[in-house]
Structure 1
Amino acid sequence: MNLLDRLNVDMKEAMKKKEKQKLSVIRMVKSSLQNEAIKLGQELTDEDALTVLNRELKQRKDSLHEFEKANREDLAAKVRDEITILEIYMPEQLSEEEVSEIVKATISEVGASSKADMGKVMGAIMPKVKGKADGGLINRLVQQHLS
């Protein structure tokens, strides 16, 4: 079952159970997916859908950070709930050890030796772990292994 089908099923279920928060988040994601499909002028592949989902999740995490910084716990709690709902649709996340192994393998693959090669390494890693690991974690691990 692809992401859009799964969202449709979950949306109907949320309507029946009167889960307003979940319904709202699902509608926002579906809207973003439709907008992306229109922008691309074609049906979305699973990878395109994952990109949109990642973007939505990143926006929520950025908002959460800002709300916490401004001591707006009411808004932060709402965004935390949205993040929890969005994470249901994300692929299973890799552990830090798994990401570290991928980083080591990619560094040797591209022949990187210093922090000057950081861009080359990041460019090679990101397609491998797309949606399965946080970019900040990857960045930190690459810096550790290149120093």
Structure 2
Amino acid sequence: MSLLVTLKDAQKEAMKAKDKLRLGAIRAVLAEIKQREIDNQTTLDDAGITAVLVKLVKQRRDSYTQYKDAGREDLAEIEATEISVLETFLPKPLSEDEIIELIDAVIAQTGAAGMQDMGKVMGAIKAKAEGRADMGKMSGLIKQRLTA
């Protein structure tokens, strides 16, 4: 079942359950997907939808931090709930060992020899790990591997 169908089914379930927070989060994702499809005049596949989910989770984490810093616990709680809803649609996160294995495999596959090959490695990794690992952390691990 495609991710879009899963999201639409979850939207229907949230409507039936009258779960406003869950419904709002799912509608935000579907609206963003529709907006990207209209802007790019294309239909998003599961990888594109995962990229949208990653972006929205990141935005909500930023908002959560800002609300916490401002002492707005009520708004921070809403953002935290939306984060947990959106994360249910993301693929299972990679473990630390899986990340290192993936990095080593991509470095071997691309024949990367040093920091000049960082972009090549990041491009290949991003395609395989989008939504399953923090790309900032991944970048640091790649740098360690390439300079070692």
What interval of TM-score do these two structures reach, taking the shorter chain for normalisation?
Answer: 0.7 to 0.9
- For 1:102, the equivalent position in structure 2 comes to 102
Label 1:123 to 1:43 Cα distance change in 2 as closer, same or farther (>3 A). closer
Match of 1:39 in 2: 39
Of the structure 1 ranges 73-82 and 58-67, higher mean CA displacement relative to structure 2 is found in 58-67
Higher relative contact order (CA 8 A, sep 6+): 2
- Match of 1:92, SS state, is coil
| Partner residue, 2:81 | 81
The alignment partner of 2:65 has SS state of helix
Calculate the aligned-residue CA RMSD, in Å.
1.8
Going from structure 1 to structure 2, the CA distance change for 1:7 and 1:143 (only over 3 Å counts) comes to same
Give the 3-state SS of the residue equivalent to 2:133 in structure 1.
Answer: coil
Distance 2:58 2:136 in 1: 11
**Hey, what does 2:14 align to over in structure 1?**
14
Partners of 1:50 and 1:68 lie apart in 2 by 27
C-alpha distance in structure 1 between counterparts of 2:28 and 2:71, whole Å:
25
User: CA offset at residue 97 of structure 1?
Assistant: 0.9
Deviation larger for 94-103 or 66-75? 66-75
The answer to whether the Cα contact below 8 Å between 2:110 and 2:120 also exists between their aligned partners in 1 is yes
Post-superposition Cα deviations, 1:49-101, rounded to whole Å, max 9, x if no partner, equal 12211211121122223333334332222111101000111111111110111
Q: Give the Å deviation of 1:112.
A: 2.9
Q: Give aligned pairs, total.
A: 147
Distance in 1 between residues matched to 2:38 and 2:55, nearest whole Å: 17
Kindly tell me: are residues 120 and 43 of structure 1, through their superposed partners in 2, closer, same or farther at Cα, counting changes over 3 Å?
closer
Where does 1:36-75 land on structure 2 (aligned, <5 Å)? 36-75=36-75
Q: Distance in 1 between matches of 2:76 and 2:113?
A: 41
Distance 2:103 2:11 in 1: 37
| Range that drifts further, 68-77 or 44-53 | 68-77
Question: Which stretches in structure 2 are left out of the alignment for 5+ residues?
Answer: none
Q: Secondary structure at the match of 1:133?
A: coil
Q: Is the 8 A contact 2:4 2:46 kept in 1?
A: no
Residues 144 and 72 of structure 1, relative CA distance in 2, 3 Å threshold: farther
Deviation per residue, 1:101-146 (Å, 9 max, x gap): 1111222333334334322321221112122212122112112223
Decide whether aligned partners of structure 1 residues 73 and 138 sit closer, same or farther in structure 2, where only a CA change above 3 A counts: same
Please state whether the residue corresponding to 1:43 is helix, strand or coil.
Answer: coil
Name the aligned partner's letter for residue 30 of structure 1.
L
Q: Name structure 1 gaps, 5 residues minimum.
A: none
